[in-house]
Structure 1
Amino acid sequence: MAGAPHQRPRVNLLVDLTRLEKSGKFSELASWMHTYHSVRGVPLVVLYVCCGTLQLPWAFQVWRGKGTPSPAQLALNLLRTVPQELLAGKRRPRLHADGGFERADFIQGVLARGLDIVIDVRCTRRLPDGRQVRDLMVRGSLVQPKGLHQTMYISWVWLYRDKEPEQRFVMSNLNLGGVDLARLGKRRWRIEAFFKTIKGRFGLERFAQHSQ
């Protein structure tokens, strides 16, 4: 009896705002250097493509600071560079992002492109009844966070860093149940940690590391 036909792995996309930390004077990068979250350097919005065991950086854009397109807008621009052939298939692609991209226009833009979304959400984000996300008692709750036009499912996990537990919230348009949604959130953090590791190993943090 013939085996079941091979099913192509689901394509997962991940957007991340990272920084090439710099100190000193860099005349060539003067217009690119900004301080963000107390870190001075070149802020990059990076899009990664993950399919099965394949995980690779796809494209990036430099965020040039206030008064220019936001990181969320740059991320939507990067999504447009992904060929539709890569996203086609029976298994709907998913976009993973951290809480820096939880703007309504970004979430709606992702869903409009036919992608599902799994995204971090601030614990202080308000709900229509005045509560905050951290006040939810049931994993997988269906709510409509303030500022969004659609309902989302929210769950959470506990991460242990330096032996201190940290509660992280994740939301999605997918009705996966609280436990599975939390697992998806954990998977994104593992992928993000992987790319932060290879950034160091390939020396990206030393890009243009000469100053005047």
Structure 2
Amino acid sequence: MLAHAQKLVYTLKELMPTSYQKDNLEAMLGLFLEAQGQHEPEHCQTKSPSALSRFLNINPWSTRDMIRTVRNHVVETVLKVFSECGKGRKPFLQVIIDLTTLEKRGKFKDFEDLISVYNGKRGLHLVVVYLVVANWRIPWSFRVWRGKGTLSPAQLGLKLVRRLPKSLTEHFQVMILADTAFGSVEFLHGIRKLKYHAITGVAINRKLIDGRVLRHLRKARRLGCFPRQTLHKQGQQVRLVGLKLTVTVCWY
């Protein structure tokens, strides 16, 4: 793993247009790779906070080239791991989709169209995709949810899943892992159409086709208030209103 990381760091440094920016990038990466929880610029021992701020906000360098280089390196490394697995059943590629909020207070003129309120929190709401292979969890892509009247977090998540490179997904069994924010009918049908597996959270007030809601399944099991043949247990399949497929329900 160390050899892969060193190769990537050297490649990223070569993307910087000046030696000054190469030094700044090296200083920034050093803060994160120390993994001491002190990655803010003021903790850097080799560069001033103002120098790193200029590097991140003012100095011209290609963000797209950086992202493209990192992604190519990730795919190359993951496929190498796949090739070492040998023949047999395809290993799983877990794709975690998460909605993360970076809370913001005050006024940010440059971010006016990006900052919104979601679940009582004001800030940048990011739909983030992580790839999990073996013991590696790799940030892959993200989109900003821009508020009501725009694409929902579930729609953004589905878009990101559709854009996963085929060079990666065709070598693995893809398992989508997401919370309740991504349990919509459109999202589940979209994942099914891609022939991927999915484990998502579902609200307890989600309706079944027999008129009950998911909350009743647990109560029926605990209280015995339904005939034996209608009792539901962990891992049993049910039909939800609006879904064209049968799902397996579990809870904890």
Same fold (TM over 0.5): yes
> Please, which of 133, 143, 165 is the counterpart of residue 83 of structure 1?
165
> Please, which of 181, 184, 188 is the counterpart of residue 100 of structure 1?
181
Larger mean Cα displacement after TM superposition, 6-15 or 43-52: 6-15
Q: How far apart are the structure 1 equivalents of 2:86 and 2:214?
A: 42
Aligned partner of 1:51: which letter? V
Say yes or no: does 1:32 pair with 2:114. yes
> Please, which of 141, 146, 163 is the counterpart of residue 236 of structure 2?
141
Q: How far apart are the structure 1 equivalents of 2:214 and 2:94?
A: 26
Please list, as runs of the form range in 1=range in 2, the aligned pairs for 1:44-59 lying within 5 A after superposition.
Answer: 44-59=126-141
Following TM superposition, by how much is the alpha carbon of 1:80 offset from its aligned partner in structure 2, in angstroms?
A: 2.3
Structure 2 residue runs without a partner (length 5+): 1-84, 222-232
Following TM superposition, by how much is the alpha carbon of 1:118 offset from its aligned partner in structure 2, in angstroms?
A: 0.5
Q: Deviations over 1:11-66 (max 9, x none)?
A: 00011111111111111111111111111001111111111111011000111111
Structure 1 residue runs without a partner (length 5+): 158-212
Aligned partner of 1:49: which letter? L
Q: Specify the alignment match of 1:113 in structure 2.
A: 194
TM-score, reference length from structure 2: 0.58
Larger helix percent = 2
Following TM superposition, by how much is the alpha carbon of 1:5 offset from its aligned partner in structure 2, in angstroms?
A: 4.0
Q: Specify the alignment match of 1:43 in structure 2.
A: 125
Please list, as runs of the form range in 1=range in 2, the aligned pairs for 1:132-211 lying within 5 A after superposition.
Answer: 132-136=213-217, 137=221, 138-157=233-252
Deviating runs (4+, > 6 A) in structure 1? none
Aligned CA-pair RMSD: 1.6
Q: How far apart are the structure 1 equivalents of 2:206 and 2:123?
A: 28
The number of residues matched between the two structures is 153
Q: Specify the alignment match of 1:69 in structure 2.
A: 151
Contact 2:91 2:173 (C-alpha < 8 Å) held by counterparts: no
* Percent identity of equivalent pairs: 37
SS at match of 2:107: coil
SS at match of 1:153: strand
Contact 1:15 1:47 (C-alpha < 8 Å) held by counterparts: yes
SS at match of 1:156: coil
- Greater C-alpha radius of gyration: 2
Contact 1:9 1:52 (C-alpha < 8 Å) held by counterparts: no
